[in-house]
A and B are shown apart, each in its own frame.
Chain A
Amino acid sequence: MLNLKQLFFFLVFFAASSLFAQDCQLKVSGIIYDIKSQLAIADANVYSHERRQGTISNSEGFFEINNLCAGELHLLISHIGCSPRSVFIHLTADTNLVIWLDHSNEVLNEVAVSVGRQSQALEPQKTLKAESIRENAASDLATVLKDLNGVASIGNGAKISKPMVQGLFGNRLSLVNNGVVHSGQQWGNDHAPEIDPLMAGSLSVLKGSAAIEYMGSSLGSVILVEPRTMPTDPHVHGAAQYLFESNGRGQVVNAQIEQKAAGLSWRFAGSLKKNGDQKTATYYLRNTGREEANAVLQLEKRYAKKWQSKLYYSLNSSKLGLLRGSQIGNLSDLQLALEQAEPFFTEDDFSYRIASPRQEVQHHLLKVSQLYSLDKNRGFEFNYAWQLNSRQEFDLRRADRGDFPALSLSENSHFWELKYHSQSAKGWHWQSGLQYNLRDNYNVPETGILPLVPDYINREWGTYFRANKQWQSWAIDFGARADYILQNVAAISITVPREVLRYRNEFLNPKASFALSYQFSKNLKTNLNLGYSQRNPAINELYSNGLHQGVSGIEEGDPNLREEHSFKSSIDLSYQPNEHWNFEALAFIQPITNFIYLQPQDELRLTIRGAFPVFKYEQRNALLRGLELQANFDPTGPLRVDANFSYLRGDNREEEIPLVFMPANRIFAALNYQLPSWGAWEKLELQVSNRFVFEQKHLLASQDFVAPPPSYNLVGLKASAERQIANNRWHFFVKADNLFNVAYREYLNRQRYFAEDLGINISIGLGLKF
């Protein structure tokens, strides 16, 4: 029931709007700019849903729509080569808009991470936006990110991989999902991060020197998974997508709906993915299917102007098959597998069946935030996040034990954070915070096998500050943080009789960063980044003990390991001689003392399953260095060319030998061609891309069971188009990966011991925005 007061407002509002409605004399005008070049965009399309009428911006980027009625107005602004932007306004008077379009719709440089964060991106940063994520809808997070220069993926199979940035991954690379450091079993090379890239609004890679704001064990780089910004439109809008891929006969459905209703913005998104056995150039990879379900709920409410509450919940649930022929028991099994032209158990027929060996993983993330603005320039933020990661891995076992996981881990983590930010009158921007994280890792006792990593409780207290300022051509950004870590471990001895061994460790990790940017001229800019960080040894490095089936080696932790220290320096230069050309270069050097790695020992240990090589976690001084180059050519006209190259080298400086698991150098180039609109078909675009990956030659023969695979070249092709049907925008694309069905193996994919990598894959996608 409406009370009298509400009724009164309702009537007044109604009267007012109908009054204006009769008027219909309002005007909306605006200027459209390119976010990157900051130049005005001519010939952009501005379309109003309500009026079913459009206009085109003039040479100054200016547009105007007249004779509009008061009330709601949806505008769709599009331009060749840009992702279209929807703008919603509640029109009450003549309105003037400034609209920024993003012309480089794939890779963006140095765009602030999200509105409100206000951080000036002094560190080298690359961002993938929702559009390009969607065209890789069936891929896992690491594969999607691989399109960015300096990013590689390491894993076991095509869809079980983790991202690697400038040679670091796992324990040394933080994944920040919605402001919270992703907490799972990150130590395992075959443990993919439990994040669906489709649920993200953008994926960014920060290749700076130190990720000061985030807790966690990063030695520099950070991957940010940011949700979409919340809707401001009072109507229910949404998007849906379907994708089919030929390789693995995979299907993806994905949908989201959102609305801002009565002050509460909400969004619900979900996706389902399924594929069966994937195929190399010539044969099926048995048991490489996947089933995955994801859901996200996002709520945001603002009260009394100063208060804002946010809630984010996501669930990722997946079942992942591992290549049947890759389960081995000892070195002679591996030797026999290496000699096979096709892996053992390869079958002629395709199947969706996922049997053992397989992984079943669930990840929950719940985050609640409370924001309070003291005034325009200052505010507090309180965050609490809970994560539950449960991982079960099933092997082929005797006597029906295959129904019980061989590894069953449950990790609960709770994170609290209080942050303060302020912007002074002199232009200083200040951020500081207090953080606490508790991680409780538990081996579910159902396996009948000694756990690989022990039970532990890891507690972490942290504090940081960060300040930045820009004046004239200079910008500066610096910060520091300290984390105190307390580990309580309860391990089971590997000696008999079995007993419980308890350990208690304390660590204090400092981090500091400094960045300086100088704009020489309108065309030339440089950033210098320096960062120091310290990482304490992770639980698996300290206490893992036993046979690692996958690599046929006995791995021994060392409880006496000390902290790693990293000092990373990077310098990058970007140069735009004119509006058609863009060049970027980045060089970095990162010495790491006490770098923890698995060192093969001179011992072959005799067990009942044969003799196994023994690897022990040891520490040496290491050095990473790399170079990344990028060029973009955008002549006036339908053509655009992007190219990049990355070079990386890692060495153990004490023994003067290469570091293992370093990505091979690679070159990527893409040629985009815009076709003119054809009837109702708009934004017709063709893309040819080429990725060349060099052979990893910087490795000794004694460092691997088999020499790294030779170089390979993959060609991709993509065609996409959009079409407006009634009020809905449809997006279509066809894409071919590995177009020439090349047989190849990738050094960082462990499956290469057993099988080739994926052959041709044709995807067809259909998307709808409403």
Chain B
Amino acid sequence: MKTTFKLFAAMFAFTALVACSEDEPETPVIPNEEELITTLKWQLVSQDEQDTLNFLFRDLDGDGGNAPLVETSDLKPNTSYNARVSLQNELENPVEDITLEVAAEAEDHQFFYESSVSGLSLSYADSDLNGKPVGILSTITTTDESSGNLTITLLHLPNKFANGVEAGDRTAAGGETDISVSFTVNVKP
């Protein structure tokens, strides 16, 4: 009985010993969030190359609580612009251009532009290897004075062959939203 008890006591002593041997978790490796998109820049150059407009959405802390920085510009009536969207990860040093990743996988990505601005029309100005639009480059034409919202959406793995997708309607596309940013747009002289 005594020996047995000692044996079990020894087993538990061993346990206690192990129990006190380690204290804190090791310092975790801060991940290299190279996939993160912190910044969207949308640049419009009027076709007469007189005007350059910049739109910006920057959210450095991702899903964190700090509000993003949003900058917009005013468009002129009855003007056509060549537009180019670019995506960046500004947490990386040097700043990483995510647009390149999207362009490299053009068949798996598409930008959609939805606007509530009357008289504003938009058409795609680029295409992937299947001849489907990507939407990094586009053309925008304004008519009368007006204002509203314009939402830029980037879908990852949409069905680009689905109904209406080629024309810029995402309803049937499926896919997962990587970017969804809204700007207030004013068209005024």
> A interface vs B, CB < 8 Å?
325, 327-330, 332-333, 336-337, 344-345, 370, 372, 374, 380, 382, 396-399, 401, 414, 416, 418, 434, 436, 438, 440, 442-443, 445, 447-451, 454-457, 459, 461, 488-492, 494-496, 498, 500, 502, 546-547, 554, 605-610, 612
Contact = CB atoms under 8 A, between A and B. Distances in A.
Given A330-B180, A396-B157, A496-B61, 20 more contacts: A329-B175, A332-B180, A333-B175, A372-B4, A397-B35, A398-B35, A416-B19, A445-B29, A445-B31, A448-B33, A448-B35, A449-B35, A457-B22, A457-B24, A459-B19, A492-B28, A502-B24, A605-B65, A608-B38, A608-B179
Contacts of B40: 608
B127 to A, nearest CB: 19
A608 B31 contact: no
Interface string B63-96: 1111110000000000000000000000100000
Interface stretch (B7-15, B44-52, B115-123, B135-143): B7-15
A329 B156 CA distance: 9
Contacts, number: 168
B176 interface: yes
Contact of A492 (B12, B23, B30, B104): B30
B67 A490 contact: no
B178 A399 contact: no
A488 B180 contact: no
B37 interface: yes
A344 B159 contact: yes
Contacts of A607: 59, 62-63, 68
B179 A609 contact: yes
B60 interface: yes
B16 to A, nearest CB: 7
A201 to B, nearest CB: 27
Contact of B180 (A372, A401, A461, A610): A610
Contacts of A547: 63
B174 interface: yes
Contacts of B1: 374
B32 interface: yes
30 contacts: A328-B176, A329-B155, A329-B175, A329-B176, A332-B180, A344-B159, A344-B175, A380-B4, A380-B8, A382-B8, A396-B176, A398-B101, A398-B156, A398-B178, A399-B105, A416-B15, A418-B8, A438-B19, A445-B31, A451-B31, A455-B28, A457-B23, A494-B62, A494-B64, A496-B60, A502-B24, A606-B68, A608-B37, A609-B177, A612-B63
Interface string B120-163: 00000000000000000000000000000000010111010000
B163 to A, nearest CB: 13
Nearest to A440: B25
Nearest to A370: B11
A488 B60 contact: no
A496 B31 CA distance: 13
Contacts of B178: 329, 398, 609
Given A399-B101, A490-B27, A554 B19 contact: no
B181 interface: yes
Contact of B31 (A438, A448, A489, A554): A448
Contacts of B25: 440, 442, 455-457, 488-490
B187 interface: no
B42 interface: no
Contacts of B102: 398
Contacts of B31: 445, 447-451, 492
Nearest to A500: B27
B57 interface: yes
A416 B13 CA distance: 11
Given A455-B25, A500-B27, A608-B179, A448 B63 contact: no
Nearest to B101: A399
Which of B27, B63, B68 is most buried by chain A, counting CB atoms within 10 A of its CB?
B63
A374 B7 CA distance: 13
A461 B38 contact: no
Contacts of A608: 37-40, 57, 59, 62, 68, 179-181
Contacts of B26: 455, 490
B7 to A, nearest CB: 8
B19 A344 contact: no
Contacts of B22: 438, 440, 457
A195 B29 CA distance: 31
A605 B68 CA distance: 10
Nearest to B177: A329
Contacts of A398: 35, 98, 101-102, 105, 108, 156, 178
Contact of A382 (B11, B62, B91, B155): B11
B38 A414 contact: no
A495 B64 contact: yes
A332 B155 CA distance: 11
| B26, B31, B98, B179 interface centre (most CB from chain A within 10 Å) | B31
Nearest to A329: B177
A459 B18 CA distance: 11
B28 A490 contact: yes
Contacts of A443: 28
For the complex of A and B, the 10 pairs showing the least CB-CB separation, nearest first, are: A344-B174, A329-B177, A610-B180, A445-B29, A416-B15, A329-B176, A494-B64, A455-B25, A490-B25, A399-B101
Nearest to A418: B12
Contacts of B15: 416, 418, 436
A319 to B, nearest CB: 21
Contacts of A330: 177, 180
Given A450-B31, A608-B57, A327 B8 contact: no
Contacts of A329: 155-156, 175-178, 180
